[in-house]
Chains A and B, each alone.
Chain A
Amino acid sequence: MIGKDVLGILYTDAYNDCISELTALRTTGSVPFGGRYRFIDFPLSNMVNSGITKVGVITKNNYRSLMDHVGSGKSWDLSRKNSGLFILPPYNFGGGKYKGRLEALRNTMDFIQASNEEYVLLCDTNIICNMDFKKLIKYHEAKNSDITICYKEGKYPQLANLMRFSVDADGEIADMTVPPKAEEGEGIFGVNIIVMKKSLLERLVNQATAGDYDVFEKEVIMKNLDKLNIYGYKIDTYCSVIDSMQTYYDTNMDLLDPAVSAQVFDRNNPVYTKVHDDMPAIYGVDSKAKNCVLADGCKIEGEVENSVLFRGVQVAKGAVVKNSVIMQSCYIGEDANLNCVIMDKNGVIRPRKSISGDSAYPIYIGKNISI
């Protein structure tokens, strides 16, 4: 049974510098997304929907809001006596904070070794995708694979140490490169969702040299391409890797397409999140809402079009909000005008103020800012 077999590990700090405005005060895993979620909700929900019952959440910096959001794991049914959710802050690590995946794993080795599961499923949190991990594990076992890496084909995400490779007819990975800096281009690339036997992970992490600049993708994966069976698992449903503010904006906007949202919010694999007990959304007299995704607690008196509104957003009479992502509890004053804006939590746009970006250059307004 999968629950007893797979240990989930989430890297909640990976790639935080790609969306530095959003991660200035919060770790990647707790970046708000999609009206009522945070990034971590997606891989975490995928894990519990697949039957995984033990998840280690590796944290590094600014993880207070993440801890508050995830709590004891109750919303994902992970508040358990046996197994459940474990927050893993940096532990006694030689004075500094770890620099990458490899060091993070070394820091977490005691937790991993003390666990009893057979496999480990390693996941980044900047991936918006609804996936059935049971299928991934079955594939891994069917291929007799040592390491299975999920992949997509398309434009390369602008991320450092992206794994690029080719996949043969059987699914086996070859010709891997791991450029240290992001590069433009198209092709097959690894999405950081990786399965391998726990014992193998322990061995490989211990074997990898303990240098400062060592990169997991190079030391553990690429170096062992010829020695181990490394397979690729194709993700053919909607999957977006958040590598920039632009991608963050575009991915939120993608949710306005019912075909995309049906995949991301698959009713058979629901996305769980912290419960907030807001009242349902209210649309006032003379309000105009078209092509929007709205969360509970919103009060719409003005006009909202092509936008994603988080919990408790208030749009006053005469205000117009278009093509924007407005986070929790923002207040858009009377006759204000917003176009192509990403607005962080608790912001205020005073009456008659106007902020306009472009869909190819959305303007980011920070947390708690009043304009």
Chain B
Amino acid sequence: MARKTECLAMLLAGGQGSRLGILTKNVAKPAVPYGGKYRIIDFPLSNCINSGIDTVGVLTQYQPLELNDYIGNGQAWDLDRANGGVHILSPYQQIQGTDWYRGTANAIYQNINFIDRYNPEYVAVLSGDHIYKMDYAEMLDFHKKKGAACTIAMLEVPWEEASRFGLMFVDDDGKITAFEEKPKNPKSNKASMGVYMFTWSKLREYLIADEAKEGSSNDFGKDVIPAMHNAGEVMVAFPFDGYWKDVGTIDSLWEANLDLLNPVANIDLSDKSWKIFSNNPVTPPQYVAPTAEIQNSLITGGSHVEGEVDYSVLFSNVTVEDGAEVKYSIVMPGAKIEKGAKVQYAMIAENAVIKSGAVVGEDPQAYDDRANWGVAVVGPNLTIGENAKVKAQTMVVEDVEGGAEV
């Protein structure tokens, strides 16, 4: 019999992140590399342990192998525990009703038994897709104080962006009065962050009800939350003020990485009071050669830099040879940028090789058609041949021959 816990967390890590293309072809989105030595899932996991939540269910579904391997027994986040700890929850065969996770609510519904084992009063439901630091204990205090059945973390977003989000109308007492899902003409700029705190007994009820409902899409945002709201449950918005980034698109992933170099962006990973833990790669310290020219960049252990690196993020074990240039780019673990190659405004995935003289990406200021400019991406384990050229906004999914232009 598992020891009773006050609050546990369910982390939705099953998504494909289809807009990340080749980067998530074989890897779930929460396992996508970020910030030199992290993966996206390090943020919700670290937030949990720093908030005092030591029981976390990670719901996986899409291409989970790399994610499962990365999480292991949870030791990297102090989540290897005798009681609680991290548990990977995949869909499993049952006597009846065996199914893949049909939606975010269905995923939690299928794991009611897991949650019941710990008999918690509260359950935090987190997405595994966002970069942010949050103290869930504060959110829980807010939830308790307001006597809520459901608390939704809320961020005020710039009005120009509001139409991308699920929005909420909130009264002076913090109570949510109405919802607006990605409207063309937003009347609110209070966005839902996809971070929820529920009183478990209530959530449990609504999950079971939703599962029985014909035609439901079994989604939190579309089905369960509105059902709770319409039934008159107390729903409150927990105001959040800090860095929060959805890294669901190539551009946002690229920006989020470069945000680490921009003090205005206000994301500080060196803050010792809120450490972001990760499954650290074992590498020697980084080496900067006498020929290296590094400016305004973030570089991770095991890397070997002989060339030029400007406003870029290099992950572990990256090689930048003498004469090579990396600007405004993200280079993921193990990639190699050979002599004379030029990487600009691009993302180079794990273990890719950019051969001599190749040029990947284009400077937006030198680009004629600004509206169609975008970051170039080279997929994992690929080779860009000598003197080849990869244009802006191109996603390379197979080797490019020397001299070719894509």
B13 to chain A, nearest CB (A): 21
Set of chain B residues within 8 Å of A265, measured between Cβ atoms: 284
305-329 of chain B: CB within 8 A of chain A: 309
Set of chain A residues within 8 Å of B269, measured between Cβ atoms: 279
Q: Which of B37, B289, B294, B301 contacts A295 (CB 8 A)?
A: B301
Set of chain A residues within 8 Å of B277, measured between Cβ atoms: 277
Docked-complex contact B298 and A282, CB < 8 angstroms: yes
Set of chain B residues within 8 Å of A287, measured between Cβ atoms: 294-296
Docked-complex contact B284 and A261, CB < 8 angstroms: yes
Knowing A272-B282, A281-B299, the reply to whether A289 touches B276 (Cβ < 8 A) is: no
Docked-complex contact B280 and A275, CB < 8 angstroms: yes
B288 within 8 A of A: yes
Q: Which of B283, B284, B294 contacts A289 (CB 8 A)?
A: B294
Q: Which residue of chain A is the closest to B271 with respect to CB atoms?
A: A279
Number of A-B contacts (CB under 8 A): 94
A-B contact pairs, 17 of them (CB 8 A): A35-B284, A36-B301, A261-B284, A261-B287, A264-B284, A270-B282, A275-B76, A279-B35, A279-B276, A280-B301, A281-B298, A283-B294, A284-B296, A285-B296, A290-B289, A294-B299, A296-B37
168-213 of chain A: CB within 8 A of chain B: none
Set of chain B residues within 8 Å of A281, measured between Cβ atoms: 286, 298-300
B174 to chain A, nearest CB (A): 34
B270 within 8 A of A: yes
Set of chain B residues within 8 Å of A36, measured between Cβ atoms: 285, 301
Most A-side CB within 10 Å, residue of B76, B285, B286, B299: B285
B36 within 8 A of A: yes
Docked-complex contact B286 and A291, CB < 8 angstroms: no
Docked-complex contact B275 and A277, CB < 8 angstroms: yes
Knowing A275-B280, A285-B296, the reply to whether A280 touches B35 (Cβ < 8 A) is: yes
Complex Cα gap A280–B268 (Å)? 11
Set of chain B residues within 8 Å of A290, measured between Cβ atoms: 288-292
B interface residues, Cβ below 8 angstroms from A: 35-37, 75-76, 260-261, 269-270, 275-278, 280, 282-292, 294-301, 304, 309
Q: Which residue of chain A is the closest to B299 with respect to CB atoms?
A: A281
With A280-B37, A296-B300 known, 6 other A-B pairs at CB within 8 A are A277-B275, A282-B260, A283-B295, A283-B309, A291-B290, A294-B299
Docked-complex contact B289 and A291, CB < 8 angstroms: yes
Docked-complex contact B75 and A294, CB < 8 angstroms: no
Q: Which of A74, A277, A294 contacts B285 (CB 8 A)?
A: A294
A89 within 8 A of B: no
Set of chain A residues within 8 Å of B292, measured between Cβ atoms: 289-290
Complex Cα gap A67–B223 (Å)? 54
A37-73 vs B, CB cutoff 8 Å, 1 = contact: the mask equals 0000000000000000000000000000000000000
B85 to chain A, nearest CB (A): 15
Docked-complex contact A285 and B36, CB < 8 angstroms: no
Docked-complex contact B36 and A279, CB < 8 angstroms: yes
291-324 of chain A: CB within 8 A of chain B: 291-297, 299, 308
Q: Which of A35, A74, A282 contacts B75 (CB 8 A)?
A: A74
Q: Which residue of chain B is the closest to A290 with respect to CB atoms?
A: B290
| 8 nearest A-B residue pairs (beta carbon) | A280-B36, A35-B285, A265-B284, A279-B269, A280-B300, A291-B290, A283-B294, A295-B285
Knowing A279-B276, A287-B294, A296-B37, the reply to whether A258 touches B287 (Cβ < 8 A) is: yes
